[in-house]
Amino acid sequence: MKQTIAKQRWLRLIPIAFITYSLAYLDRANYGFGAASGLAEDLHITAGTSSLLGSLFFLGYFFFQVPGAAFAEKKSAKVLIFWSLIAWGLLASFTGMISNIKLLFVIRFALGVVESAVMPSMLVLLSNWFTKAERSRANTFLILGNPATVLWMSIVSGYLVNSVGWRWMFIAEGLPAVIWAFIWWKVVNDKPREAKWLTEQEKNDFEQQLAKEQEGIKPVKNYGEAFKSKPVILLSAQYFLWSIGVYGFVMWLPSIIKAAPNMDIVKTGWLSSVPYILAIILMLVASYFSDKTLNRNAFVWPFLLIGAVAFYASYAIGTEHFWISFVLLVIAGGAMYAPYGPFFAIIPEILPRNVAGGAMALINSMGALGSFVGSYIVGYLNDSTGGFSASYIFMAGSLFLSAILTIMAVKAAKKDKSEPSNVNVSA
Protein backbone atom coordinates (compact mmCIF):
# COMPACT_ATOMS: atom_id res chain seq x y z
CA MET A 1 0.00 0.00 0.00
CA LYS A 2 2.81 2.41 0.88
CA GLN A 3 4.47 1.74 -2.47
CA THR A 4 1.19 2.48 -4.27
CA ILE A 5 0.75 5.79 -2.42
CA ALA A 6 4.36 6.77 -3.12
CA LYS A 7 4.09 6.03 -6.81
CA GLN A 8 0.81 7.92 -7.19
CA ARG A 9 2.17 10.99 -5.42
CA TRP A 10 5.31 11.17 -7.54
CA LEU A 11 3.41 10.64 -10.79
CA ARG A 12 0.50 12.98 -10.05
CA LEU A 13 2.08 15.88 -8.18
CA ILE A 14 5.72 16.22 -9.17
CA PRO A 15 5.20 16.79 -12.94
CA ILE A 16 2.52 19.39 -12.14
CA ALA A 17 4.76 21.18 -9.62
CA PHE A 18 7.70 21.07 -12.04
CA ILE A 19 5.75 22.55 -14.96
CA THR A 20 4.15 25.25 -12.80
CA TYR A 21 7.45 26.46 -11.41
CA SER A 22 9.00 26.19 -14.88
CA LEU A 23 6.41 28.60 -16.28
CA ALA A 24 7.02 30.99 -13.39
CA TYR A 25 10.73 30.91 -14.00
CA LEU A 26 10.33 31.35 -17.75
CA ASP A 27 8.40 34.58 -17.32
CA ARG A 28 10.95 36.09 -14.97
CA ALA A 29 14.19 34.97 -16.65
CA ASN A 30 13.44 35.76 -20.29
CA TYR A 31 13.94 39.47 -19.61
CA GLY A 32 17.70 38.91 -19.88
CA PHE A 33 17.23 37.64 -23.42
CA GLY A 34 14.89 40.47 -24.33
CA ALA A 35 17.42 43.01 -23.05
CA ALA A 36 20.26 41.38 -24.98
CA SER A 37 18.29 41.18 -28.23
CA GLY A 38 16.65 44.52 -28.94
CA LEU A 39 14.38 45.57 -26.07
CA ALA A 40 16.92 47.97 -24.58
CA GLU A 41 17.82 49.40 -27.97
CA ASP A 42 14.22 49.83 -29.18
CA LEU A 43 13.05 51.51 -25.97
CA HIS A 44 16.28 53.56 -25.61
CA ILE A 45 17.13 52.00 -22.25
CA THR A 46 20.63 52.50 -20.87
CA ALA A 47 22.59 49.61 -19.37
CA GLY A 48 22.00 50.98 -15.86
CA THR A 49 18.24 51.32 -16.41
CA SER A 50 18.09 47.87 -17.99
CA SER A 51 19.81 46.46 -14.92
CA LEU A 52 17.27 48.18 -12.65
CA LEU A 53 14.38 46.85 -14.74
CA GLY A 54 15.76 43.32 -14.57
CA SER A 55 16.20 43.49 -10.82
CA LEU A 56 12.93 45.32 -10.05
CA PHE A 57 11.09 42.01 -10.35
CA PHE A 58 12.84 40.78 -7.21
CA LEU A 59 11.84 43.85 -5.21
CA GLY A 60 8.16 43.01 -5.78
CA TYR A 61 8.98 39.36 -5.12
CA PHE A 62 10.58 40.30 -1.78
CA PHE A 63 7.62 42.08 -0.18
CA PHE A 64 4.87 39.47 -0.60
CA GLN A 65 6.57 36.17 0.28
CA VAL A 66 5.38 35.80 3.87
CA PRO A 67 1.73 36.84 3.22
CA GLY A 68 1.64 34.28 0.41
CA ALA A 69 2.97 31.51 2.65
CA ALA A 70 0.49 32.43 5.39
CA PHE A 71 -2.39 32.17 2.92
CA ALA A 72 -1.09 28.83 1.62
CA GLU A 73 -0.72 27.38 5.14
CA LYS A 74 -4.00 28.65 6.57
CA LYS A 75 -6.23 28.54 3.48
CA SER A 76 -5.12 27.14 0.11
CA ALA A 77 -1.93 26.95 -1.95
CA LYS A 78 -4.06 25.65 -4.82
CA VAL A 79 -6.22 28.79 -5.01
CA LEU A 80 -3.30 31.17 -4.64
CA ILE A 81 -1.23 29.56 -7.39
CA PHE A 82 -4.22 29.35 -9.75
CA TRP A 83 -4.74 33.11 -9.74
CA SER A 84 -1.00 33.76 -9.76
CA LEU A 85 -0.59 31.70 -12.95
CA ILE A 86 -3.20 33.78 -14.77
CA ALA A 87 -1.82 37.10 -13.52
CA TRP A 88 1.85 36.47 -14.28
CA GLY A 89 1.11 34.97 -17.70
CA LEU A 90 -0.81 38.10 -18.73
CA LEU A 91 1.82 40.46 -17.29
CA ALA A 92 4.62 38.59 -19.07
CA SER A 93 2.75 38.83 -22.38
CA PHE A 94 2.08 42.55 -21.86
CA THR A 95 5.85 43.07 -21.67
CA GLY A 96 5.93 42.41 -25.42
CA MET A 97 3.29 45.07 -26.12
CA ILE A 98 4.61 48.13 -24.33
CA SER A 99 6.66 51.04 -25.67
CA ASN A 100 6.69 53.12 -22.47
CA ILE A 101 9.58 52.62 -20.06
CA LYS A 102 7.50 53.73 -17.06
CA LEU A 103 4.91 51.05 -17.84
CA LEU A 104 7.72 48.49 -18.12
CA PHE A 105 8.82 49.43 -14.58
CA VAL A 106 5.26 48.80 -13.32
CA ILE A 107 4.99 45.46 -15.14
CA ARG A 108 8.32 44.16 -13.83
CA PHE A 109 7.43 45.06 -10.23
CA ALA A 110 3.91 43.62 -10.54
CA LEU A 111 5.30 40.42 -12.05
CA GLY A 112 7.43 39.99 -8.94
CA VAL A 113 4.42 40.54 -6.69
CA VAL A 114 2.20 37.90 -8.34
CA GLU A 115 5.01 35.34 -8.59
CA SER A 116 6.12 35.86 -4.99
CA ALA A 117 3.65 33.33 -3.61
CA VAL A 118 4.68 30.49 -5.91
CA MET A 119 7.84 29.18 -4.24
CA PRO A 120 6.67 29.22 -0.58
CA SER A 121 3.21 27.94 -1.55
CA MET A 122 4.74 25.07 -3.51
CA LEU A 123 7.05 24.17 -0.61
CA VAL A 124 4.06 24.17 1.75
CA LEU A 125 2.11 21.98 -0.68
CA LEU A 126 4.94 19.46 -1.06
CA SER A 127 5.48 19.31 2.71
CA ASN A 128 1.83 18.19 2.97
CA TRP A 129 2.41 15.37 0.50
CA PHE A 130 5.96 14.09 1.07
CA THR A 131 7.74 12.70 4.11
CA LYS A 132 11.11 13.68 5.55
CA ALA A 133 12.91 10.91 3.67
CA GLU A 134 11.45 12.16 0.37
CA ARG A 135 11.40 15.92 0.82
CA SER A 136 14.79 16.86 -0.60
CA ARG A 137 14.02 15.01 -3.84
CA ALA A 138 10.51 16.46 -4.03
CA ASN A 139 11.91 19.97 -3.53
CA THR A 140 14.57 19.30 -6.14
CA PHE A 141 12.08 18.21 -8.78
CA LEU A 142 10.16 21.41 -8.08
CA ILE A 143 13.21 23.65 -8.30
CA LEU A 144 14.50 21.77 -11.36
CA GLY A 145 11.95 23.95 -13.11
CA ASN A 146 14.53 26.72 -12.68
CA PRO A 147 17.61 25.38 -14.54
CA ALA A 148 15.56 23.17 -16.89
CA THR A 149 13.53 26.18 -17.99
CA VAL A 150 16.55 28.40 -18.47
CA LEU A 151 18.12 25.57 -20.50
CA TRP A 152 15.32 25.30 -23.08
CA MET A 153 14.36 28.96 -22.77
CA SER A 154 17.88 29.99 -23.75
CA ILE A 155 17.60 27.97 -26.96
CA VAL A 156 13.93 28.70 -27.80
CA SER A 157 14.20 32.40 -26.95
CA GLY A 158 17.22 32.74 -29.18
CA TYR A 159 15.28 31.29 -32.12
CA LEU A 160 12.12 33.29 -31.34
CA VAL A 161 14.01 36.56 -31.17
CA ASN A 162 15.82 35.71 -34.38
CA SER A 163 12.54 34.77 -36.14
CA VAL A 164 9.84 37.12 -34.82
CA GLY A 165 11.61 39.63 -32.56
CA TRP A 166 11.68 40.23 -28.82
CA ARG A 167 8.06 41.43 -28.58
CA TRP A 168 6.56 38.19 -29.85
CA MET A 169 9.01 36.23 -27.71
CA PHE A 170 7.46 37.74 -24.57
CA ILE A 171 3.91 37.25 -25.83
CA ALA A 172 4.47 33.63 -26.90
CA GLU A 173 6.21 32.70 -23.65
CA GLY A 174 3.61 34.36 -21.37
CA LEU A 175 0.38 32.79 -22.62
CA PRO A 176 1.13 29.14 -21.63
CA ALA A 177 0.87 30.10 -17.92
CA VAL A 178 -2.72 31.28 -18.40
CA ILE A 179 -3.71 28.00 -20.08
CA TRP A 180 -1.86 25.92 -17.49
CA ALA A 181 -3.79 27.57 -14.62
CA PHE A 182 -6.91 25.58 -15.50
CA ILE A 183 -5.01 22.30 -15.70
CA TRP A 184 -3.51 23.07 -12.29
CA TRP A 185 -6.99 23.68 -10.82
CA LYS A 186 -8.29 20.40 -12.17
CA VAL A 187 -5.60 18.04 -10.90
CA VAL A 188 -4.11 19.49 -7.67
CA ASN A 189 -5.31 19.01 -4.08
CA ASP A 190 -3.89 20.92 -1.13
CA LYS A 191 -3.75 17.88 1.18
CA PRO A 192 -4.08 14.08 0.93
CA ARG A 193 -7.41 14.30 2.81
CA GLU A 194 -8.93 16.06 -0.24
CA ALA A 195 -7.67 13.58 -2.86
CA LYS A 196 -10.33 11.35 -4.39
CA TRP A 197 -7.70 8.95 -5.73
CA LEU A 198 -6.67 7.84 -2.21
CA THR A 199 -8.70 5.49 -0.02
CA GLU A 200 -9.69 6.55 3.51
CA GLN A 201 -7.19 4.09 4.96
CA GLU A 202 -4.39 5.49 2.79
CA LYS A 203 -5.27 9.04 3.83
CA ASN A 204 -5.26 8.13 7.52
CA ASP A 205 -2.00 6.20 7.32
CA PHE A 206 -0.21 8.98 5.50
CA GLU A 207 -1.48 11.71 7.84
CA GLN A 208 -0.32 9.66 10.82
CA GLN A 209 3.13 9.35 9.28
CA LEU A 210 3.39 13.12 8.80
CA ALA A 211 2.12 13.73 12.33
CA LYS A 212 4.72 11.34 13.76
CA GLU A 213 7.51 13.40 12.18
CA GLN A 214 6.36 16.42 14.19
CA GLU A 215 6.65 14.68 17.55
CA GLY A 216 10.32 15.50 18.11
CA ILE A 217 10.00 19.18 17.20
CA LYS A 218 9.55 21.80 19.91
CA PRO A 219 6.31 23.80 19.43
CA VAL A 220 6.66 27.38 18.18
CA LYS A 221 3.77 29.76 18.82
CA ASN A 222 3.87 32.00 15.77
CA TYR A 223 5.90 33.44 12.90
CA GLY A 224 7.45 36.10 15.13
CA GLU A 225 9.01 33.50 17.41
CA ALA A 226 10.19 31.43 14.45
CA PHE A 227 11.74 34.42 12.68
CA LYS A 228 13.82 35.28 15.76
CA SER A 229 15.49 31.86 15.92
CA LYS A 230 19.19 31.88 15.15
CA PRO A 231 19.06 29.18 12.42
CA VAL A 232 16.35 31.08 10.51
CA ILE A 233 18.28 34.36 10.75
CA LEU A 234 21.51 32.73 9.55
CA LEU A 235 19.78 30.82 6.74
CA SER A 236 18.10 34.04 5.62
CA ALA A 237 21.47 35.79 5.41
CA GLN A 238 22.96 32.74 3.68
CA TYR A 239 20.23 32.63 1.04
CA PHE A 240 20.57 36.38 0.44
CA LEU A 241 24.24 35.94 -0.45
CA TRP A 242 23.67 32.74 -2.41
CA SER A 243 21.01 34.43 -4.53
CA ILE A 244 23.36 37.29 -5.38
CA GLY A 245 25.53 34.78 -7.18
CA VAL A 246 22.70 32.83 -8.80
CA TYR A 247 20.70 35.71 -10.23
CA GLY A 248 23.66 37.82 -11.17
CA PHE A 249 24.66 34.76 -13.19
CA VAL A 250 21.20 34.10 -14.69
CA MET A 251 20.45 37.69 -15.67
CA TRP A 252 23.82 38.52 -17.18
CA LEU A 253 25.19 35.26 -18.60
CA PRO A 254 23.66 35.92 -22.09
CA SER A 255 25.29 39.37 -22.18
CA ILE A 256 28.64 37.96 -20.98
CA ILE A 257 28.62 35.30 -23.71
CA LYS A 258 27.34 37.63 -26.42
CA ALA A 259 30.30 39.94 -25.79
CA ALA A 260 32.68 37.23 -27.05
CA PRO A 261 34.10 37.62 -30.59
CA ASN A 262 31.94 36.34 -33.48
CA MET A 263 28.99 35.55 -31.21
CA ASP A 264 25.41 35.91 -32.48
CA ILE A 265 22.17 35.57 -30.48
CA VAL A 266 21.48 31.95 -31.54
CA LYS A 267 24.97 30.80 -30.49
CA THR A 268 24.52 32.78 -27.29
CA GLY A 269 21.31 30.87 -26.61
CA TRP A 270 22.95 27.47 -27.07
CA LEU A 271 25.97 28.31 -24.94
CA SER A 272 23.80 29.90 -22.23
CA SER A 273 21.98 26.59 -21.84
CA VAL A 274 25.09 24.51 -21.05
CA PRO A 275 25.49 25.41 -17.32
CA TYR A 276 21.91 24.33 -16.67
CA ILE A 277 22.53 20.83 -18.03
CA LEU A 278 25.19 20.36 -15.37
CA ALA A 279 22.90 22.01 -12.81
CA ILE A 280 20.13 19.47 -13.43
CA ILE A 281 22.52 16.53 -13.04
CA LEU A 282 24.06 17.87 -9.83
CA MET A 283 20.67 18.77 -8.31
CA LEU A 284 19.39 15.22 -8.82
CA VAL A 285 22.56 13.64 -7.42
CA ALA A 286 22.74 15.93 -4.38
CA SER A 287 19.06 15.49 -3.44
CA TYR A 288 19.20 11.72 -3.83
CA PHE A 289 22.15 11.27 -1.49
CA SER A 290 20.86 13.92 0.92
CA ASP A 291 17.61 11.97 1.36
CA LYS A 292 19.49 8.68 1.47
CA THR A 293 21.69 9.87 4.35
CA LEU A 294 19.27 12.44 5.86
CA ASN A 295 22.26 14.79 5.80
CA ARG A 296 21.56 18.31 4.50
CA ASN A 297 24.67 20.31 5.36
CA ALA A 298 27.16 18.14 3.46
CA PHE A 299 25.21 18.71 0.25
CA VAL A 300 24.93 22.49 0.54
CA TRP A 301 28.08 24.37 1.55
CA PRO A 302 30.67 22.36 -0.47
CA PHE A 303 28.83 23.13 -3.71
CA LEU A 304 28.63 26.83 -2.86
CA LEU A 305 32.36 26.86 -2.16
CA ILE A 306 33.06 25.19 -5.53
CA GLY A 307 30.89 27.83 -7.22
CA ALA A 308 32.85 30.62 -5.54
CA VAL A 309 36.22 29.16 -6.57
CA ALA A 310 35.04 28.61 -10.18
CA PHE A 311 33.79 32.19 -10.46
CA TYR A 312 37.08 33.56 -9.18
CA ALA A 313 39.12 31.28 -11.45
CA SER A 314 37.05 32.42 -14.44
CA TYR A 315 37.90 36.01 -13.55
CA ALA A 316 41.59 35.22 -13.02
CA ILE A 317 41.92 33.54 -16.43
CA GLY A 318 40.27 36.48 -18.15
CA THR A 319 38.26 37.03 -21.32
CA GLU A 320 41.27 36.49 -23.59
CA HIS A 321 40.86 32.76 -22.89
CA PHE A 322 37.11 32.68 -23.49
CA TRP A 323 36.56 28.92 -23.69
CA ILE A 324 38.45 28.10 -20.49
CA SER A 325 36.64 30.93 -18.73
CA PHE A 326 33.34 29.62 -20.11
CA VAL A 327 33.95 26.09 -18.79
CA LEU A 328 34.60 27.54 -15.34
CA LEU A 329 31.34 29.51 -15.59
CA VAL A 330 29.55 26.25 -16.44
CA ILE A 331 31.01 24.66 -13.29
CA ALA A 332 30.04 27.70 -11.20
CA GLY A 333 26.48 27.61 -12.54
CA GLY A 334 26.04 23.89 -11.92
CA ALA A 335 27.49 24.08 -8.41
CA MET A 336 25.26 27.01 -7.43
CA TYR A 337 22.10 25.09 -8.28
CA ALA A 338 23.03 21.71 -6.80
CA PRO A 339 22.11 22.38 -3.12
CA TYR A 340 18.53 23.70 -3.52
CA GLY A 341 16.71 20.47 -2.61
CA PRO A 342 18.70 19.71 0.57
CA PHE A 343 18.64 23.38 1.59
CA PHE A 344 14.85 23.71 1.57
CA ALA A 345 14.51 20.40 3.41
CA ILE A 346 16.27 21.87 6.47
CA ILE A 347 13.49 24.14 7.81
CA PRO A 348 10.63 21.57 7.93
CA GLU A 349 12.97 19.37 9.99
CA ILE A 350 13.74 21.97 12.65
CA LEU A 351 10.44 23.91 12.89
CA PRO A 352 6.84 22.72 13.34
CA ARG A 353 4.37 22.77 10.46
CA ASN A 354 2.45 25.81 11.72
CA VAL A 355 5.46 28.09 11.13
CA ALA A 356 7.73 26.18 8.71
CA GLY A 357 6.05 27.66 5.63
CA GLY A 358 6.43 31.20 6.95
CA ALA A 359 10.09 30.59 7.80
CA MET A 360 10.75 29.24 4.31
CA ALA A 361 8.97 32.29 2.89
CA LEU A 362 11.14 34.63 4.96
CA ILE A 363 14.29 32.87 3.77
CA ASN A 364 13.05 32.92 0.18
CA SER A 365 12.19 36.61 0.47
CA MET A 366 15.74 37.35 1.55
CA GLY A 367 16.82 35.35 -1.49
CA ALA A 368 14.62 37.65 -3.58
CA LEU A 369 16.30 40.67 -2.02
CA GLY A 370 19.67 39.10 -2.80
CA SER A 371 18.48 38.51 -6.35
CA PHE A 372 17.57 42.19 -6.64
CA VAL A 373 20.96 43.23 -5.31
CA GLY A 374 22.81 40.68 -7.43
CA SER A 375 21.13 41.39 -10.76
CA TYR A 376 21.35 45.16 -10.23
CA ILE A 377 24.91 45.43 -8.89
CA VAL A 378 26.29 42.96 -11.44
CA GLY A 379 24.74 45.08 -14.19
CA TYR A 380 26.05 48.26 -12.57
CA LEU A 381 29.57 46.86 -12.27
CA ASN A 382 29.51 45.67 -15.88
CA ASP A 383 28.37 49.11 -17.06
CA SER A 384 30.69 51.20 -14.90
CA THR A 385 33.84 49.12 -15.49
CA GLY A 386 33.19 48.26 -19.14
CA GLY A 387 33.83 44.56 -18.47
CA PHE A 388 32.79 41.57 -16.38
CA SER A 389 35.78 41.03 -14.08
CA ALA A 390 34.47 43.07 -11.14
CA SER A 391 31.11 41.30 -11.20
CA TYR A 392 32.86 37.90 -11.21
CA ILE A 393 34.68 38.83 -7.98
CA PHE A 394 31.46 40.17 -6.44
CA MET A 395 29.54 36.94 -7.16
CA ALA A 396 32.46 34.75 -6.02
CA GLY A 397 32.72 36.61 -2.72
CA SER A 398 28.99 36.33 -2.08
CA LEU A 399 29.00 32.58 -2.68
CA PHE A 400 32.02 32.10 -0.41
CA LEU A 401 30.29 33.92 2.46
CA SER A 402 27.10 31.92 1.90
CA ALA A 403 29.07 28.68 2.29
CA ILE A 404 30.45 29.89 5.64
CA LEU A 405 26.99 30.94 6.86
CA THR A 406 25.57 27.53 5.94
CA ILE A 407 27.99 25.83 8.33
CA MET A 408 27.14 28.36 11.07
CA ALA A 409 23.37 27.94 10.57
CA VAL A 410 23.48 24.16 10.74
CA LYS A 411 25.57 24.27 13.91
CA ALA A 412 23.00 26.63 15.43
CA ALA A 413 20.19 24.26 14.41
CA LYS A 414 22.04 21.33 15.96
CA LYS A 415 22.27 23.13 19.29
CA ASP A 416 18.63 24.25 19.17
CA LYS A 417 16.36 22.11 21.32
CA SER A 418 13.75 22.15 18.55
CA GLU A 419 15.94 19.92 16.38
CA PRO A 420 14.60 16.33 16.18
CA SER A 421 17.13 13.89 17.53
CA ASN A 422 17.01 11.58 14.48
CA VAL A 423 17.84 14.20 11.86
CA ASN A 424 21.48 14.48 10.88
CA VAL A 425 22.01 18.05 9.72
CA SER A 426 25.71 18.09 10.54
CA ALA A 427 28.46 17.50 8.04
Instruction: Indicate the pLDDT class of residue 358, thresholds 50, 70 and 90.
Output: confident
Is the pLDDT confidence value at 112 over 70? yes
Mean pLDDT, residues 354-373: 84
Is the pLDDT confidence value at 135 over 70? yes
Whole-angstrom distance, CA of residue 338 vs CA of residue 298: 12
23-32, 40-49, 173-182, 274-283: which has the highest mean pLDDT? 173-182
| Phi and psi torsions of 327, nearest 5° | -60, -40
Model pLDDT, residue 182: 96
Whole-angstrom distance, CA of residue 227 vs CA of residue 232: 6
Task: Answer with the residue of higher pLDDT: 147 or 284.
Answer: 284
Is the pLDDT confidence value at 104 over 90? no
Instruction: Indicate the pLDDT class of residue 62, thresholds 50, 70 and 90.
Output: confident
Model pLDDT, residue 419: 47
**CA angle at 327 for the pair 386 and 334, rounded to the nearest 5°:** 100
50-59, 151-160, 329-338, 345-354: which has the highest mean pLDDT? 329-338
Model pLDDT, residue 357: 80
Instruction: Indicate the pLDDT class of residue 318, thresholds 50, 70 and 90.
Output: low
Residue 294 burial by CB count (10 A; 0-12/13-18/19+): exposed, middle or buried? middle
Model pLDDT, residue 54: 67
pTM of the model: 0.75
Mean pLDDT, residues 111-139: 87
What would the pLDDT profile of 287-297 be if each residue is shown by its tens digit? 999 998 988 88
Whole-angstrom distance, CA of residue 54 vs CA of residue 56: 6
Does residue 403 contact residue 304 with C-beta atoms inside 8 Å?
yes
Is the pLDDT confidence value at 329 over 50? yes
Give the count of beta carbons closer than 10 Å to the beta carbon of residue 47: 15
What would the pLDDT profile of 192-240 be if each residue is shown by its tens digit? 889 888 888 888 888 888 888 777 666 676 777 888 888 899 999 999 9
Does residue 166 contact residue 20 with C-beta atoms inside 8 Å?
no
Mean pLDDT, residues 57-62: 80
Model pLDDT, residue 261: 64
Dihedral-angle region of residue 44 (phi above 0 means left; psi in -120 to 50 means alpha; beta otherwise): left
